[in-house]
Structure 1
Amino acid sequence: MRDTAELTISHPDEEALWQSLLRREAVPGWFYGVTSQRIVCRLGCPARPPLRRHVRFFPGVAEAVGEGFRPCRRCDPDGARAAIHAGAVRMACAAMEAAIEAGEDLPSLADLAARAGYARHHFLRLFREVAGLTPHAYAAALRARRLGQALAEGERVVDAVIGAGFSSESRVYEDGARLLGMTPGTARRGGAGEVIRTAFGESALGPVMVGLTARGVCAIEFGEDEAALRRSLAARFPQARIEPADEAAQGAVARVLEWVREPRAALDLPLDLRGTAFQKRVWEALRSIPPGDTLDYAELATRLGMPRGARAVARACASNGIALAVPCHRVIGRDGALRGYRWGLERKAALLAREGGTATAK
């Protein structure tokens, strides 16, 4: 697969752009106008390719609109429809959050759709595309977050379950690992009872820490120094027992350091992923991107079956606490520029350079 950054054409080669159009291949920053229909599309539009003599290429939508072309309603090159849809979904999410905070019944899908001005089935599809999950699953994630917050504050499990809107305490215990990444009792104790072994090393990208539970690696983090890395881990697991490295943790950090020196294959370590079902789905997709390749957020969202879910994917990437083994650094902007990285854009650029990627921070 070609690096997305390599598709950015600084000096337009119209034949290369035409071949990309025929392959329905996205080229960040480039669009084409169809003179016979007076519409402008993004490269990668799923519409049937026009005749070559009817095509003009533009470095931006505004240039095409200025010459009398109107945006394609199918590929939405200026993002206008996507912005409207995203706004409607944000309003629905806010309504669900407000209901949970107030301890009220959640609005139904029909109510959410009516408020947004869409038919029920159409709004369900839009919500799934933008948020990456259904309204029902989003509501479940909100309840899980509310439950986790209440438990972390020391609230009794039964009270936290009721306050978060779950119908049954037994169901929460059955699904605790999926909802919270741990049992409700462990969450209430802030990780109390868990043992996390930590090992530290000095890499070409600065100090690095590996945290290892009985299930696998729960953290790989870069930082300014060892003290800052310890604080970061303690913030995630405030009551866990954090102990010095055992042989397994020492071995894990050695593999991380070796990988930073020679990132030629996937960093294969047993992982203890802590996140929602959607986050874990995104993180597993990240692990399928080989070293030297990159995807943009929209392309990754499309692979996950939600072509309008780039923002949701970006949020899941930002929540990743296991650098390198879950390679969120391989996801870049549609224009080939680097976007936010938990451990700094300089590290992201350095990682991509070491892997053979060509994207640069802008």
Structure 2
Amino acid sequence: MTPISSLPEARWEAVQRRDASSDGQFYYGVRSTRVYCRPSCPSRRPRRENVTFFDTPAEAEASGYRACLRCKPTEVSAGQWAVLHVQHLLDTVEPTPGLAALAGAVGLSPFHLQRVFKAATGVSPKGYALARRSERLKAELRTGASVTQALYGAGHPSARTVYDRATDGLGMSPGRYRAGGAGQTIRYAVVESVLGPMLVAATERGLVAVRFGEAEPLTAELRNEYPRATLEEDEAALRGHIEALHKHLTGRRDLALPGDTAGTAFQRRVWDALRGIPYGETRSYAEVAEMIGEPKAVRAVAQACAANPVALVVPCHRVVRTGGAPGGYRWGLERKRELLERERALAQSGT
């Protein structure tokens, strides 16, 4: 399965929609009845304050909850079995099976398999295979394998596909990724902003990080991400970026700064959509999923927001829960509230 979202707001939205694609990804318990269910349970929706979330049935039962007799959360449906079996085939069979072969293996038509698989995972079988190939490539490169060994070990049919920015998911050349950013110079600075300490980091191609927090943890996180890159603290070299960010925080709406960030094809689609949310406005996770043409991919949209490495430039703070509650934020819920209130006030004043 795709990684389970740990964001409560994304999970609650799935429960409100009775989203079958979230079944097996998490479970919710109702405190008033001590019963736990799958997200698609047809029972009457509980009140939000009575709901708690669990990753597994075992976790729910260990907390004193019993399985719902209507949705039977411990049983695996035929659709879930088909998705799990296809994932197993995509993970283990070389060369990667095509859609027709996968459909034959689970007794479904290609069209129906495509629909069931996408509803459950948020991506097509092909998209899942590409993501897994990217993960294998990264693992191979981290072990020190040569680029050639890594690309064939990960399942790339040729050198061309590993350098294709639409499918690599690396955000840099394979050689540089293998070297942990070796050969790259990343200049960074931690400066004060109206939202507290802000780390800004960039290569010669563009920004790799804009983050909020405390200086020492922010710098340590950057070093862990690029262990072999040359990191230089150089506020003067970043003056243009920093001034643009400060002006944006105090009312200038446009923020067109170049980026040099890694991300999957799906994450880039989400991040591009976020840039289209007007200053002073918000959209829900479900609305963003609609914007990219993936209405059932609410969970994956929330994950892409949480993975955003460049705050403000990609305005993930403008994505909120259905109903308008602010929801989570990688750099702190209070900071998100302040940022939204600041933007709303500046937009209303016409600044």
Using the size of structure 1 for normalisation, the TM-score is: 0.68
Structure-to-structure mapping, 1:144-163, within 5 angstroms: 144-163=134-153
Quote the offset at 1:248 in angstroms: 4.1
Change (3 A) 1:125 1:269: same
Partner of 1:125: 115
Taking only the aligned residue pairs, the percentage that are identical comes to 43
In 2, are the aligned partners of 1:103 and 1:164 still within 8 Å (CA)?
A: no
RMSD (Å) for aligned C-alpha atoms: 3.5
Distance 1:244 1:182 in 2: 22
Aligned residues: 282
- Distance of 1:353 and 1:245 partners within structure 2: 32
Q: How many Å separate the matches in 1 of 2:265 and 2:335?
A: 28
Query: Is residue 328 of structure 2 the alignment partner of residue 332 of structure 1?
Result: no
Q: Which amino acid aligns with 1:310?
A: V
C-alpha distance in structure 1 between counterparts of 2:211 and 2:168, whole Å = 24
Structure with higher Rg: it is 1
3-state DSSP class of the match of 1:305?
coil
Determine the C-alpha separation between the residues in 1 that align with 2:275 and 2:164: 28
1:192 counterpart SS class: coil
Higher mean C-alpha deviation, range 334-343 or range 185-194 = 334-343
Structure 2 match to 1:288: 276
- SS across alignment from 2:239: helix
After TM superposition, list the pairs within 5 Å mapping 1:151-300 onto structure 2: 151-173=141-163, 175=165, 178-224=168-214, 226-245=215-234, 247-260=236-249, 262-300=250-288
Contact 1:146 1:164 in 2 (8 A): yes
- Which residue type is aligned with residue 258 of structure 1? K
Q: 1:89 to 1:142 in 2, by over 3 A?
A: farther
Show the counterpart of 1:62. Answer: 44
TM-score, normalisation: structure 2: 0.69
CA contact (8 A) 1:161 1:172 kept: yes
Asked if the contact 1:176/1:182 (under 8 Å) is kept, the reply is: no
Cα shift at 1:88: 4.7
Cα distance in structure 1, aligned partners of 2:194 and 2:263: 29
Partner of 1:52: none
1:356 to 332, 344, 351: 344
Distance 1:307 1:266 in 2: 28
Q: Distance in 1 between matches of 2:324 and 2:295?
A: 18
Structure 2 distance, partners of 1:189, 1:94, is 35
Task: Read off the aligned partner of 2:132 and give its amino acid letter.
Answer: L
CA distance in 2, matches of 1:172, 1:185: 11
Q: Which runs of 5+ in 1 are unaligned?
A: 1-28, 32-60, 64-79, 358-362
Alignment CA distance shift 1:220-1:98 (3 Å): farther
Alpha-carbon spacing, 1:254–1:303, altered in 2? closer, same or farther (3 Å): same
| Structure 2: tracts of 5 or more residues without a match | 1-14, 18-42, 46-70, 346-351
Residues 264 and 258 of structure 1: is their aligned pair in 2 closer, same or farther, counting only changes over 3 Å?
closer
- Number of the residue aligned with 1:96: 87
The 1:263–1:95 alpha-carbon spacing in structure 2 relative to 1, beyond 3 Å, is farther
Deviations 1:73-106 (A, max 9, x none): xxxxxxx9xxx9x995797378536753x56554
What SS does the corresponding residue of 1:291 show, helix, strand or coil? coil
The residue aligned with 1:50 is none
